[in-house]
Chains A and B, each alone.
Chain A
Amino acid sequence: MKETNKAIYILRILFAVFGAFVVIFLFLNHSEKIDTPLMDYFTADFLAETGAQNAVAAIYLNYRVFDTLFEALMLMVSVMEVINVSWANKHAEQYRFEEADFNRKNNSEIVIRMVGIIYPFVLLIGLYIIINGHVSPGGGFQGGAILATALITRYLVYPNFDLDLDMLERLEKFLFLAIVTTPVLYVFMQLQPADTVLSHSIYMIFMNSLIGLKVFSGLSIIFYRFVFYEGL
């Protein structure tokens, strides 16, 4: 029995190594060089067409905005799953704030002092990355993730669950509605003013802020739900 298991294990290792070698061999020797029509189309004149200086922002907010819509839907569905398909909703009702527990977790003076100094700068760089997402590297997803680290540091300093997650979830649903309606009206139905230079960049900043806030609330909900059950 044990020797068959060992043989199967070695067989699996050989299978993985063989597969990797076959794929690398095919990739190095027989990969076809294809033209890049999409890249040529997207990088030809994106500043005039979309008002974004960052080509990636131009792609995910204007040329391929469907991707962003369904990605936002996907994140929202996973957040709803994390909240609802959870075994310990009973635990949430039983939870009480315990002073001794709080003091035990809260014993690192260095972390508290440093986080107190860093906290406003984290918020600042998150907002900067969101708002400048269309002229420089960055955008809604990255800035939202940085904003969510601000709440995570809040948990390190003040490990309590008085944050209103229901409010955050409702906010996320409203933001998703706004994320769907804005490109439908502006990009698909072309409800644009005659001079689109200003309105394009307003659209970019608005969409980046919406996506940033949505990613922020989604990641915070996921983090707080997971950390809620720690030690159980």
Chain B
Amino acid sequence: MDFLTGEIVGILLFFIGLFGLMTKKTIVKTIMSMSIMESGIFLFYITINYTEGSVPPIGQTSEAAFADPVPSALMITAIVIGIGVTAIGLTMFMHYKQKHGITHWSRNRNQQGSGH
């Protein structure tokens, strides 16, 4: 199972999210697809530059090589921003739903159901 590293799974998750963005016409599903793409990017970055047997970068012990702390520190920032983006999207969706009755990215207002 050497093939299934975190980077590969991250790329696959990204393209699953892209597929959802392309095919689904429901606004909530679009927001969910964006979240899936985000998690793919997080996974890709967190597992990048991993070497076997490295220790967490805590303390000043130098028996083994440190793991790379830079992607983790970047992804802390990105995760919080992802929460903010999701919250903004859901709030705007609720606003449009109440004001115009729109739930789909479509000119036809009367679409219902989950097949879109």
Contacts and interface: CB of A to CB of B under 8 A. Distances in A.
A229 B8 CA distance: 39
B69 to A, nearest CB: 4
Interface residues of A, number: 50
| Most A C-beta atoms less than 10 A away, residue of B59, B69, B90, B98 | B69
A178 interface: no
Given A19-B15, A54-B57, A67-B74, A141 B80 contact: yes
B73 to A, nearest CB: 4
Interface of A, helix, strand, loop or mixed by DSSP: helix
Contact of B58 (A27, A78, A85, A137): A137
A82 interface: yes
B94 A229 contact: yes
Contacts, number: 119
Interface of B, helix, strand, loop or mixed by DSSP: helix
B23 A9 contact: yes
Interface of B: 7-8, 11-12, 14-16, 18-19, 22-23, 49, 56-60, 66, 68-70, 72-74, 76-77, 79-81, 83-85, 87-88, 90-92, 94-95, 98-99
18 contacts: A20-B11, A24-B8, A24-B12, A36-B70, A54-B57, A55-B58, A55-B69, A67-B77, A71-B80, A74-B80, A79-B84, A81-B88, A85-B95, A86-B94, A135-B58, A137-B56, A222-B83, A222-B87
Interface of A: 9, 12-13, 15-17, 19-20, 23-24, 27, 36, 38-39, 42-43, 47, 53-56, 58-60, 64, 67-68, 71, 74-75, 77-79, 81-82, 85-88, 135-137, 139, 141, 215, 219, 222, 225-226, 229
